[in-house]
Amino acid sequence: MKRARLSKAETRVLEQFWKLGRSSVREVLDSLPDDERVAYTTIQTLVYRLEHKGALRRVKKIGNAQVFEPAIDQRQYRGGLLRDMLELFGGSPRLLVSNLLETGTLTLRDLKALQNASTRGRK
């Protein structure tokens, strides 16, 4: 099965489920910082979209509230995004990193820190 693409808003809601675990729409809404608060129905719509796309699953009902949990693993989801990104650069990690450096998304300081962390991990 091909992985469904998620919008930025859907991804943000899914991140809250990864953080909270099993949760209701209200719990997810209440967990958002004040500057990210939207209407309850907006979160509810995003949750139902995520369920339809297979990213969340309904696990139980408490009163009128449906409780959902992540149906996809955070590491697998991010790995899929990275594979998609690499495809945009012909599968070349060098081209990807070069582009990140050119756009200032990744700095030489970041690259050096990654290199140092990698070297320490091998010892």
What structural domains does the chain harbor? 8-70 (1.10.10.10), 89-122 (no CATH)
The region, left, alpha or beta by phi > 0 then psi within -120 to 50, assigned to residue 9 is alpha
Report the b/e string of 44-66 with b at 16+ CB within 10 A.
bbbbebbeebebbeeeeeeeeeb
Two structure tokens written together for 106:
């990744």
Q: What is the pLDDT of residues 63-117, one digit of tens each?
A: 989 999 999 999 989 998 899 999 999 999 999 989 998 998 898 899 889 888 8
Cα 19–Cα 23–Cα 29 angle in degrees, nearest 5: 80
* Predicted structure pTM score: 0.77
* 31-65 tens-digit pLDDT: 999 999 999 999 999 999 999 999 999 999 999 89
